[in-house]
Amino acid sequence: MIETALLILLAFALAQGIKMFLVQPFVIPTGSMEPTIAIGNRVLAEKVSFRFFAQPAYGDIVVFDDPNSQHPQLIKRVIAVAGQTVDVKDGAVWVDGKRLVETYIYGKPNELGTVRMPVKIPEGQVWLMGDNRTNSGDSRFFGPVLISQIKGRAVWTYWPPSQFGALE
């Protein structure tokens, strides 16, 4: 009986440690990343690389605390990092004066938000945008996001089974 209780306690502690430091599951709350990731999909976000080895980079899909507190977390794509200047004009996103080629937005137009453009990204922050630009509350509305608010880099969809696989 004591052995079983200790094994259950050990399993619980191990699961919590993995969730806290290595990888964590998240449920997608909005359609801002469609069709890349749909509402209700479940993804795994790895926490090791940003904590120990790297900073978020262009193209990374990240899970972060919702700045407006409407959802526990949101998921978006990194568009610009500290020191870069981002702008939305002529229906396109421009970073440091160069138009981005964004195959992941599937022809969705880029629209202005409430944040005044262009924006130079401050140190320790990133500019995040959803792939579904016409249905994404992102940095165009709440501005750059602190890297410390990022929970992890989304790397894998595990639910539904039809979309099981690595994220790009």
Domain that holds residue 65: 23-166
Whether 32 sits among the annotated catalytic residues: the reply is yes
Check 32, 47, 136, 139 and give the catalytic one. Answer: 32
Structure tokens at 120: 């130079």
Does a structural domain hold residue 157? yes
pLDDT tens digits, 104-135: 888 777 888 889 889 999 999 999 999 998 88
Model's pTM, two decimal places? 0.86
Per DSSP, the chain holds a count of helices (H) and strands (E) of: 3, 12
Whether 69 sits among the annotated catalytic residues: the reply is no
What's the CATH number where 139 sits? 2.10.109.10
Residues in the chain: 168
How many domains does the chain fold into? 1
pLDDT tens digits, 38-85: 999 999 999 888 877 888 999 999 999 888 878 888 999 999 999 999
Does a structural domain hold residue 77? yes
Q: Determine the pLDDT at residue 18.
A: 57
Check 47, 76, 108, 151 and give the catalytic one. Answer: 76
Q: What share of the chain has pLDDT > 70, as a percent?
A: 91
Pick from 163, 59, 68: which is nearest to 101 by CA? 59
Does a structural domain hold residue 17? no
Does a structural domain hold residue 14? no
Q: Determine the pLDDT at residue 150.
A: 93
- State the amino acid at position 110 in one-letter form: N
